[in-house]
A and B are shown apart, each in its own frame.
Chain A
Amino acid sequence: MLEMETASREQPSTREEVVAGWRTVLPACVAVLPLGLALGVLVVHTGFAWWWAPVLGAVVFAGTMEFLLIGLLAAAAPLAQIAVSTLLVNFRHVFYAISFPLHRVHGGGWKAYSTFALTDEVYALTATPESASWSRARILSIQALFHVAWVVFVAIGAGLGSLIPAQVVGLEFAVTALFVVLGLEAYKVRRSLPVPVLAFGCAIVAALISRENMLLIAMGMFVAALVGSYVLSTRRRHGV
């Protein structure tokens, strides 16, 4: 008993860690509320049964792709086209493995869920240096709460469907605002301007090349530029 008390004093309890995770994820949940509602409304307005909305939200769990997928499914697109579209839209996720603290999530099943639920928002919330020491309970509670919130919002949106007047538009700006705010938070970590300026340049060039595939092109150029800057800086250090 005494040993247990000492242990609990040294390390925060699982419950505290879960609550800490909720505190971290709450703003992201608020941010995707309008988006989840909009997705649910879109599912119903496209002509699908309302319950497809929560199924879509729970199984795909990649916001941008879900919006795109509704259009593809409505057009009865071949499964191969759905696979390729998903590959292009979600390819950016391969870069998230670089810093996401999966090494803190022990156990094969938990790791499987943690990678499954590695959305843009979860990546951004864990893209702080402190996350490398977060507990499994905190990381998983962030992901699970975000997952549950998303499915509930999408279901509510589908339920409200016809009640939201068609002239109310622009709810999708919530995601833009979320990325802006998370970008400001990420900027505070290093306070270096050249990196965001470089990323902005990559995004603009990619948008000019192909608006549909700009995410993949921009991310690829940006990572290539970072690798290039690393190679240059080590050469300079070694006097080559």
Chain B
Amino acid sequence: MSDPVYILSGIVVSAAVTWLLRAAPFAMLAPLRHSALLAHVGERMPVGAMVILTVYALRDTDPTVLVSAGPAALALAITVGLHLWRGSMTLSIFAGTAAYVLVTSFIAA
């Protein structure tokens, strides 16, 4: 398991694929930069991508089990509520995470 050559190879392979996925589309999209279609998609992508990433981050939460969904729902409510009220990203994230860690580590467990 601790063969350094294998570990380093694995890290380099993963990094190379990641970089390819991040860089190659720029070359392919360059001719389309000013297209109305890309503007339409690009305008609506950010909010949608964040919704999808949020659901993905919560994929191991079971909505039918209270000890799983309860802490997540509470922490989400705190995060969203604080953000709408105070508008501070740092405060919203910190408070939501602290609530989740406290409830899952010491109450739900």
The residues of A with any CB-CB pair to B shorter than 8 Å are 26-28, 30-31, 34, 47-49, 52, 55-56, 59-62, 65, 69, 72-74, 76-77, 79, 82-83, 85-87, 90-99, 102-103, 112, 115-116, 118, 120, 123-124, 127, 167-187, 189-190, 195-196, 198-200, 202-204, 206-207, 211, 214-215, 218-219, 222-223, 226-227, 229-230, 233-234
Docked pose: A27 CA to B29 CA in angstroms: 30
Question: A62 and B2 in contact (CB under 8 A), knowing A79-B10, A169-B101, A177-B79?
Answer: no
Q: How far is the CB of B45 from chain A (nearest CB, A)?
A: 6
Question: A170 and B101 in contact (CB under 8 A), knowing A186-B50, A199-B51, A219-B52?
Answer: yes
Q: How far is the CB of B13 from chain A (nearest CB, A)?
A: 5
Interface magnitude class on chain B: 35 or more
Chain A residues touching B, majority SS: helix
Question: A59 and B50 in contact (CB under 8 A), knowing A82-B10, A173-B96, A181-B79?
Answer: no
Docked pose: A30 CA to B44 CA in angstroms: 27
Q: Tell me whether B69 is interfacial, beta carbon within 8 Å.
A: no
The answer to whether B40 touches A230 (Cβ under 8 A) is yes
Contacts of A178 in B (CB 8 A): 93
Question: A189 and B105 in contact (CB under 8 A), knowing A76-B6, A83-B14, A86-B17?
Answer: no
The answer to whether B49 touches A219 (Cβ under 8 A) is yes
Q: Which of A76, A86, A99, A173 sits near B13, CB closer than 8 Å?
A: A86
The answer to whether A82 touches B29 (Cβ under 8 A) is no
Contacts of A103 in B (CB 8 A): 33
Q: Which of B33, B36, B57 sits near A176, CB closer than 8 Å?
A: B57
Q: Which of B23, B54, B59 sits near A116, CB closer than 8 Å?
A: B23
The answer to whether A227 touches B41 (Cβ under 8 A) is yes
Contacts of B15 in A (CB 8 A): 59-61
Docked pose: A227 CA to B36 CA in angstroms: 11
Docked pose: A177 CA to B22 CA in angstroms: 24
Contacts of A211 in B (CB 8 A): 59
Q: How far is the CB of B101 from chain A (nearest CB, A)?
A: 4
The answer to whether A91 touches B21 (Cβ under 8 A) is yes
